[in-house]
């Protein structure tokens, strides 16, 4: 059996007022056309970090955030 419906307040509501018995196991599948994932542009911009010895910086996510926030706070040159 295949039933159609929509999600309303986090609950599946079937079209045509169809109801199923409480506790009935079901499987929900989502049609491919319903995929609303954001489109990616294909281009990624990476920050540039200058160093006297390339490859010597230990860049963790936290360190990159620190460097970027320091650059945002620094006066314009």
Let me know if residue 45 belongs to a domain: no
Let me know if residue 23 belongs to a domain: yes
How many domains does one find in the chain?
1
- Mean pLDDT, all residues of the chain: 78
d(CA 8, CA 15): 12
Residues 54-74 have a mean pLDDT of: 76
d(CA 20, CA 38): 34
- pLDDT at 37 (0 to 100): 65
Let me know if residue 36 belongs to a domain: no
Let me know if residue 43 belongs to a domain: no
Where residue 75 falls among pLDDT bands split at 50, 70, 90?
A: low
Which of the pair, 72 or 76, is modelled with greater confidence? 72
Q: Which of 17, 14, 65 is nearest to 5 (CA)?
A: 14
Let me know if residue 41 belongs to a domain: no
Let me know if residue 70 belongs to a domain: no
Which range, 36-40, 49-53, 62-66, is most confident?
Answer: 62-66
pTM beyond 0.75: no
Let me know if residue 49 belongs to a domain: no
Query: Three-class SS of residue 8?
Result: strand
Helix or strand run (H / E) with residue 14: strand 11-14
- For 25, the domain range is 5-31
């Amino acid at each position: 059996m295949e039933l159609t419906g929509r999600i309303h307040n986090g609950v599946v509501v079937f079209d045509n007022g169809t109801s199923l018995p409480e506790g009935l196991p079901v499987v929900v599948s989502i049609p491919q056309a319903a995929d609303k994932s954001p489109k990616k542009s294909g281009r990624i911009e990476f920050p540039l970090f200058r160093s006297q010895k390339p490859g010597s910086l230990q860049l963790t996510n936290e360190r990159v955030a620190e460097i970027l926030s320091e650059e945002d706070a620094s006066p314009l040159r």
